[in-house]
């Protein structure tokens, strides 16, 4: 991951079947051939990873997973390890997405275990999700919520010189709702994230080892507003990443 390059990440969630994932990956591979700006990542579901990975050979598009377990092997029914994700070509993995925090009750102590294991056992780049609920924003608790999420997620995590972590700020009220954060509020959140990371580690690590991206109802119509936000390193896209034209337009506008 290059600190200078911005990144756009597609989270396909559980929106596509296996064949649909392959078809969309192929469409995107063709569309992005010759594209040479920034980083482009797609995160299909677990079932599709292996075949999509094969299809992306030779493409600039990188592969990411939507989740990972914190152990490498053992009696953990239904789970997938970081080494297996690497085996099928993943370079990125989303951890602690708000849908998993909500529907599966994942909390930041569990996300902390995933993060520690990823940094210790793999070369996968974690995409660590944080974000507040609508009530927290309305009651002025954004800073409190985000700094606490980061503190718990990163507690005891050791950062090596070459460790890279992407912090994905995805406010819950913006995901799939059509509502997006205002640029001035995003600037504020960026400051909160940098300050929290500096408190947990130090300024140098906050600056060198972390990227900050935004997710929540971004599409080709509003992406230009995000391209102008200083200190924002990219986007995590749900719904609008399910259409190759739409995703290409967004990548073209956000990446430099
Ligand atoms: P939408 O772009 O559909 O709002 O989803 C955002 C998201 O949750 C990406 O992880």
Domain coordinates of the chain in residue numbers?
7-254
- What is the architecture, at CATH level 2, of domain 7-254? Alpha-Beta Barrel (3.20)
CA–CA separation, 96 vs 152, rounded Å? 12
Give whole-number Cα distances, 236 to 72, 103, 120, in Å.
26, 20, 25
Percentage, residues of the chain above pLDDT 90: 96
175 lines ligand 1 (CB under 6 A): yes
The per-residue pLDDT for 256 is 81
The per-residue pLDDT for 5 is 83
Give the N- to C-terminal CA distance of the chain in Å, as an integer.
14
Is 208 a residue whose pLDDT tops 60?
Answer: yes
The per-residue pLDDT for 38 is 83
Band of the pLDDT at 1, cuts 50, 70, 90? low
DSSP state of 186: H
239 lines ligand 1 (CB under 6 A): yes
- Ligand 1 centroid to 7 CA: how many Å? 15
240 CA: nearest ligand 1 atom: 2
- Ligand 1 centroid to 205 CA: how many Å? 27
């Amino acid at each position: 991951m290059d600190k200078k390059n911005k990144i756009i990440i597609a989270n396909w969630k559980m929106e596509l079947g296996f064949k649909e994932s392959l078809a969309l990956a192929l469409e995107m591979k063709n569309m992005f051939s010759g594209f040479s700006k920034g980083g482009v990542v797609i995160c299909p579901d677990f079932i599709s990873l292996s075949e999509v990975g094969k299809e992306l050979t030779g493409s600039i598009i990188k592969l990411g997973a939507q989740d990972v377990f914190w152990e490498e092997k053992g009696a953990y029914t239904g789970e997938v390890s970081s080494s297996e994700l690497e085996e099928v070509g993943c370079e990125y993995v989303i951890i602690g997405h708000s849908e998993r925090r909500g529907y599966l009750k994942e909390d930041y102590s569990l996300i902390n275990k995933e993060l520690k294991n990823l940094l210790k056992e793999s070369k996968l780049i974690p995409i660590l999700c944080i974000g507040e609920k609508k009530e927290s924003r309305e009651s002025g608790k954004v800073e409190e919520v985000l700094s606490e999420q980061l503190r718990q997620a990163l507690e005891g995590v050791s950062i090596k010189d070459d460790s890279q972590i992407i912090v994905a700020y995805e406010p819950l009220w913006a995901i799939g709702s059509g509502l997006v954060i205002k640029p001035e509020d995003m600037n504020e959140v960026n400051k909160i994230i940098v300050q929290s990371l500096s408190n947990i580690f130090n300024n140098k690590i906050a600056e060198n080892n972390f990227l900050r991206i935004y997710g929540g109802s971004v599409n080709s119509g509003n992406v230009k507003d995000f391209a102008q936000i200083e200190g924002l390193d990219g986007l995590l896209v749900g719904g609008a990443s399910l259409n190759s034209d739409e995703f290409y337009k967004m990548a073209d506008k956000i990446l430099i």
